Amino acid sequence: MLRALTFSLALACGICTAGAQSAEPELRLPAIPDTLKSAPERAAYLIAHFWDNMDFADTTMSANAQFMEQNFANYASLFPHTDIAAILPDAAKSLMHRAEVNRNAYNLLAETADTYLYEPESPVANEGAYMYFLQAINESPFIDPALRTRYEIQLQDVLKNRPGTKATDFEILLRDGTTATLLEKCKSAKATILIFYDPECENCSRLVEEMRRDPDLNRAVSQRHLNIIAVYPDGDEEEFGKAEGKIPGGWIDGMSPDGKISEEELYSMPTFPTLYLIDANGKVLIKNGRPAEVVDAALSI
């Protein structure tokens, strides 16, 4: 179970305190040097030194799932406050290396990173951050061999269509029987919301209905500033037929011929619906985004 975030950081004024109502003890954190004034600098320092007082050989802490979850949640809550690409590759590698004193502790730390950074329902989910932990895990000989395949597959998934890279192109069979490609359609608007859905998915139907009622989205689509492409990736024409009429008329509604998207695992789709935001040049802006995040970003372009 994901534990509540009780961590409080006064990054601006230099005070670092733990939440008073925490259910589990929290690590004693290092004092932030007075020379670090900005919130990003202070957050970066804490990310680098958060675990300095952690003794992974002490199994009362390192084997305590609740303790590790609470502190990892606090740690992950720092990531949005700084440039993790500059600090987290080394920090994640150092943290995983320090846990190599105990295989159970190492496995628990890896599992906790998975739960908090990779699970879509986590309040601190951050696939970009998790990538650095996966790289550290996959480079280490210490991970339990029985778990290695899991983390190898996850790393492959995380590296697909990352923000900043060009979206993998694919063919779309449209309702009228014609075909198009994703990147062709992306060129016709400033931004494209790509939704992978399943006709039987209730969450998909709810999302479509919420978006259908959004006047700002409707305006952006009608003015051709925004494309919304709904794609059924599995290639079952009978299932696709069940969704006819459910996708708003101004959207692009299609399926993957022969289910190539799913069969070849072209995109990461941890749940249905899965949303991506792509610009006119085909660059991925948001991967596996929360609906509100994707819609807000799309309307701001």
Mean pLDDT of 20-30: 69
Residue 65 structure tokens: 């799932």
Sequence-distant (6+) residues with CB within 8 A of 134 are 151, 154, 155, 158
The mean pLDDT of the chain is: 91
Asked if pLDDT for residue 12 goes beyond 80, the answer is no
Span 202-240, pLDDT tens digits: 999 999 999 999 999 999 999 999 999 999 999 999 999
Homologous superfamily in CATH for domain 171-300: Glutaredoxin (3.40.30.10)
pLDDT value of position 6: 45
pLDDT in tens, 78-135: 999 999 999 999 999 999 999 999 999 999 999 999 999 999 889 999 999 999 999 9
What's the rounded Cα separation, in Å, for the pair 200 and 196? 12
17 pLDDT band (50/70/90 cuts)?
very low
Q: What is the pTM of this model?
A: 0.85
Domain ranges of the chain: 8-159, 171-300
pLDDT at 2: 56
Residues 6 or more apart whose CB falls under 8 angstroms from that of 34 comprise 14
Cα 237 from Cα 298, distance rounded (Å): 30
